[in-house]
Structure 1
Amino acid sequence: MQDGLFPSPLIHRAPGQILARGVCRHLSEMNFAALEEYVPERGRRVDVMALGPKGELWVIECKSSRADFMADAKWQGYLDWADRFFWAVDADFPIDILPEETGLIIADGYGAEIIRMAPETRLPGARRSAVTRKFARDAARRLQGWRDPQV
């Protein structure tokens, strides 16, 4: 209910965070567990990492403008951490600048739609196991921190 008594949950979020929220909602409908602003290894931070019901790992980078996309020189380094890589953008984004060999999601703060499925490049077994374990531990730590901030 948005009637002035309750402020919008999107009011204090950056544009990329708003896209991430819609992406995570859509992924949840697909039975994926997603973490925003996830660090798969020191020095790398992805906007959304998702773990699917069959163990698949997806990385989604949210871009709010052409300038935001053009400034991202490290996205190819994220390919080593996922089976599929997607860009998430809003409906006004100039999608012709996005690499065709990546997935495409159109999103807003309330939902998303996969427009182009990313090609699958399966992670090697040892990497998959390590990334999945780290994802699970980090998700549990986030939940524990939310429930008990003193920990």
Structure 2
Amino acid sequence: MAPCPAMPTDLAENQFAIRRAILHLCGQLGWATLNELVLPDGRRADIMALRPDNGLVCIEIKSGPRDFLADGKWETYQEWSDQLFFAVDHGFPLALLPETAGIMVADTGLLPTGLEVIAESAILRDAPQNTLAPARRRKLTHLFAMQAAERLARLNDPAITAALRAARRVE
């Protein structure tokens, strides 16, 4: 019998494991994702997903109950998405999470070598639908595309990106 992988004990490591598993789940659903999308109000969505139907899904990762209880900014994310989900691990007490959001559970663990195991993550509870106004949807879709393109450009040529940033500061 194969040993069961252990859950990450460090909160940052756990958050990273949850993120990886949920990004994998989003890919299986056909959703395009962007980590740390900077929203118009200056807050950062942990994961923003663009569904094939042009719907925008905000996914807030919670590494544990203390992380959830210490953070109230997630309530503003509903204004910037069609659906809001919390992404947690199997050990998270689900009763803490509000009914106004969906729940994604990341089935992750770490092998003794530090390699991550991604098993079956799932949507346990679908999020209520919040239809964005057309102007807000256009703005967010444009923001999503711009931030994704900038990140891709940085990967393709970091030197050009640094020069562009310096030029923007001068203007």
TM-score (norm 1): 0.87
Which of the pair is proportionally richer in helix? 2
Match of 2:136 in 1: 127
Shifted more, 77-86 versus 34-43: the winner is: 34-43
Q: Which runs of 5+ in 1 are unaligned?
A: 1-12
**Residue matched to 1:102:** 101
1:131-146 pair list within 5 angstroms? 131-146=140-155
Q: Which deviations, in whole Å up to 9, do the C-alpha atoms of 1:2-49 show, x marking residues without a partner?
A: xxxxxxxxxxx6322221111111111111100111111253011100
> 5+ residue gaps in structure 2?
1-11, 109-117, 162-171
Identity of matched residues, %: 40
After superposition, the Cα gap between the structure-2 partners of 1:47 and 1:108, relative to the gap in structure 1 and judged at 3 Å, is farther
Structure exhibiting the larger radius of gyration computed from Cα positions: 2
Match of 1:73 in 2: 72
Partner of 1:9: none
Measured in 2, the distance between the counterparts of 1:124 and 1:92 equals: 36
Q: Deviations over 1:47-88 (max 9, x none)?
A: 100001010000000101110000111111111110000000
SS at match of 1:55: coil
